[in-house]
Amino acid sequence: MSRHHHHAHVHWKHLAIYGGVMCVVVIIGGLAIWSFLEKQSLVVAPEALPKVTVVTSDAHSRLAAAWVSLLTRAEMQATLVPIDKLDPIEGVILFCDVPQIPQKLGAALDQFVQRGGALAFAGMPPNLAIGGLHLTAESGTSDASIKLSEAVSPTLARLNPGYEIPAHKTLVALLDESPRMVIDARWKDNARAAVMHMEDAGARYVWMGFDPDALLRKDDPQLLLLMRTAFRWVAGQPISDGAVGPAQLAKALTPGARREAREQRFAFSVDRTSQQNTLSIRMTNRGGANIQNPTVMVWLPRSVKRVALAGDFVMRRRATLTGVPEEAACLVTLPSLARNEDRLMKLKVIETEQTARSNECVTCTSPRS
């Protein structure tokens, strides 16, 4: 009897082990299926390049026509419109050769910006006061090249830090700078601003002071990428740049860390998805070795104030999210990315300017205790 009892005891012990293994397999399989379905549900909804309305006070303006040509080469839909025919409805409005804005149109533009429209300026800025925006410039002579800043910037994302764009010397607008402006490019010798962006109360603005006809290489890939990125940012689309290397340098997106990301073939992207208030971030190692501390900086869409990592734990594993509120951006970092590894992550919008204002109103109108 004792022998049979021993065999039965061993039998049930083996069954318990097998049962435990099967439970682990089922759990892992279920999590894998869940993660797969989660990724499949994250359908990217890419945004088209913004439409640009080039506004001029002179229908025969050479400078305005040059800007339409440059934007068209950058694969954007650009339309030339006289200022008396302008109806600010959507897209980006680029003022070129417009010295004065009629008062009635100024009020319409103020409402246009509040609705999410965007303004850009080329050459001599018009006399226009919207919110904290007030641009002034003087005429002067340009240099033989435009030097891009080496600092990380939403309008310079994915461009080579410090890249130079050769040009003929010509008469241009030289901007009067203020502390609120971020200068993205300067004339190499006189160091006056050539490209600037700024953000005020959620509204975004871009100014460009060069003459497209004076550029030596009108199809320069870096120049065309600059046009697309700058107008995408001012239109409120998400923008991203990436860096790799030592953690401190990668998270600071130093010029060297961004150059190293290109050399190691670190691919990355950020896109809106079909799910409301959700962005997808993809990091891919296309190089031949492991990548250390791959980091993507995401300049968030206009009006977005806070985001959080979302999705299942497989999506979020080892990922770190760091807010950069002064840039209206965030950093997503992984400790490493193996050769041929492809990571897809999800960012969920948890606060916008609208919800923040609603919360403030609730606080303001709440009954007294």
62 and 186 part of one domain: yes
Would you say residue 264 lies in a domain? yes
Would you say residue 5 lies in a domain? no
Report for 23-27, 31-35, 133-137, 354-358: range of highest mean pLDDT:
133-137
210 and 276 part of one domain: no
Of the three residues 234, 261, 282, the one that is the final residue of a domain is 234
Would you say residue 8 lies in a domain? no
Q: Is the pLDDT of residue 11 over 80?
A: no
199 and 300 part of one domain: no
194 and 246 part of one domain: no
| 214-247 residue pLDDT tens | 999 989 999 999 999 999 999 999 999 999 999 9
Would you say residue 1 lies in a domain? no
Of the three residues 214, 234, 254, the one that is the final residue of a domain is 234
Would you say residue 190 lies in a domain? yes
CATH of the domain at 188: 3.40.50.880
68 and 214 part of one domain: yes
226 and 180 part of one domain: yes
User: pLDDT band for position 369 (50/70/90)?
Assistant: very low
220 and 268 part of one domain: no
CATH of the domain at 326: 2.60.40
Would you say residue 23 lies in a domain? no
225 and 96 part of one domain: yes
Q: What is the CB neighbour count within 10 angstroms for residue 73?
A: 16
More confident residue, 26 or 332: 332
Q: What percent of the chain lies above the pLDDT cut of 70?
A: 84
User: pLDDT band for position 313 (50/70/90)?
Assistant: confident
Q: What integer pLDDT is reported at residue 100 of this predicted model?
A: 85
Q: Structural domain of residue 290, as residue ranges?
A: 239-355
User: Mean pLDDT over all residues of the chain?
Assistant: 85
Would you say residue 265 lies in a domain? yes
Query: How many angstroms separate the CA atoms of 131 and 203, rounded?
Result: 9
Report for 13-27, 36-50, 331-345: range of highest mean pLDDT:
331-345
| 36-47 residue pLDDT tens | 444 455 677 778
User: How many domains are there within the chain?
Assistant: 2
Q: Is the pLDDT of residue 314 over 90?
A: no
Of the three residues 234, 255, 289, the one that is the final residue of a domain is 234
Query: How many angstroms separate the CA atoms of 137 and 99, rounded?
Result: 11
227 and 106 part of one domain: yes
Q: Where are the alpha helices (DSSP H) in the chain?
A: 2-41, 62-73, 103-114, 221-234, 247-251, 255-263, 313-316, 353-365
Q: Is the pLDDT of residue 24 over 70?
A: no
Picking from 49-53, 315-319, 363-367, which range would have the lowest pLDDT averaged per residue? 363-367
Would you say residue 15 lies in a domain? no
196 and 326 part of one domain: no
Q: What integer pLDDT is reported at residue 44 of this predicted model?
A: 76
Long-range contacts of 316-321 (CB under 8 A, 24+ apart): 316/345, 319/343, 319/345, 321/347
341 and 206 part of one domain: no
Which tokens sit at 178? 């203020």
191 and 213 part of one domain: yes
